[in-house]
Amino acid sequence: MKVGRIILGDITIATLAVVLWSPIVGLTPFDPSIVRAALAITSYVAIPAAAVAINRPLLGMGSQDEPRSINPEARGDDHGRGDELYEALQRQSKLQHVGGYASDAARQVDAARRKRHQIIDMLSTGKLTPGSLAWSRFASGIEEAESTIRRNAALVSSACTSFDGNDYVQLYQSVSSGTYRDDNIDDDLQIERLRIYQETISQLKGIVGNNEQLLLELDRFASEVSMQAMTPSDESSERMLAEMRVLIEEARRYD
């Protein structure tokens, strides 16, 4: 809910409270009329509850703070505007310890989008007829590469959401220095927690690395298209398309 709508809701609730509880209407639980007394009691409960509900986002209790699934295929427009995955990764780039992986993933999402448009534009202006079987094969390969990069980036975003950077740093320092043995928490549990954190970091490195490999292959593909204006019969074009699909399968190992 936007701040303007919250303010409007607060004004409406305040106006309603003034009207109901002022001498104009004069609702009171001590009213001789059972109906008016019941309305007064109901308003005493409902109006404060409505105020809390409307102001929940400002109180830090709103659904906007709850993790929600992002569809990696929702790419926004041709310029990336409205791309929820990219915007979420940019926000997460400020997180402690894992922010760098979110930043890398955001860059990869943006680069993959731009590279897809570049290659498909070159294919369309080269020797391939847009919509033809050959054009569709190459275009679908490029689309699949970008989709894989985006799905991997969504995994990075999900891992960053659940990663407690402060806890990891404190736990790492405690275990490294040996001070974890001096507290009241089970030593084996602390070591296992640290192992889980480190495994997550290792997976993030792998995901970002696989995405980088796919981007490199897209760069190589784009260079080949621009230099040779490849045709369906080009051996090099078929070989690169096959190599790209191998990389795509390799990049999906974290799914």
Interval 177-219: pLDDT, tens:
999 888 888 888 889 989 999 999 999 999 999 999 999 988 8
Q: Residue 229: its pLDDT value, please? A: 55
Q: Residue 65: its pLDDT value, please? A: 39
pLDDT reading at 25 higher than 80: no
Residue 238: what residue type? E
Lowest mean pLDDT among 3-17, 73-87, 166-180: 3-17
Q: Residue 165: its pLDDT value, please? A: 87
- Mean pLDDT score, 54-72: 57
What's the rounded Cα separation, in Å, for the pair 118 and 122? Answer: 6
- Mean pLDDT score, 45-52: 78
Q: Residue 57: its pLDDT value, please? A: 58
Q: Residue 119: its pLDDT value, please? A: 83
Q: What is the pTM of this model?
A: 0.65
pLDDT reading at 36 higher than 60: yes
- Mean pLDDT score, 71-79: 75
What's the rounded Cα separation, in Å, for the pair 65 and 207? Answer: 26
H/E run at residue 208: helix 187-228
What's the rounded Cα separation, in Å, for the pair 36 and 43? Answer: 10
- The region that residue 108 occupies, defined by phi over 0 for left and psi between -120 and 50 for alpha, beta otherwise, is alpha
Token representation of residue 64: 């906007």
108-130 per-position pLDDT tens digit:
999 999 998 888 887 777 666 67
Q: Residue 212: its pLDDT value, please? A: 94
String of DSSP letters for 17-82: HHHHHSTTT---TT-SSHHHHHHHHHHHHHHHHHHHHHTTTTTT-SGGGS-----TT---STT-TT
- Mean pLDDT score, 222-247: 69
pLDDT band at 104 (very low <50, low <70, confident <90, very high): very high
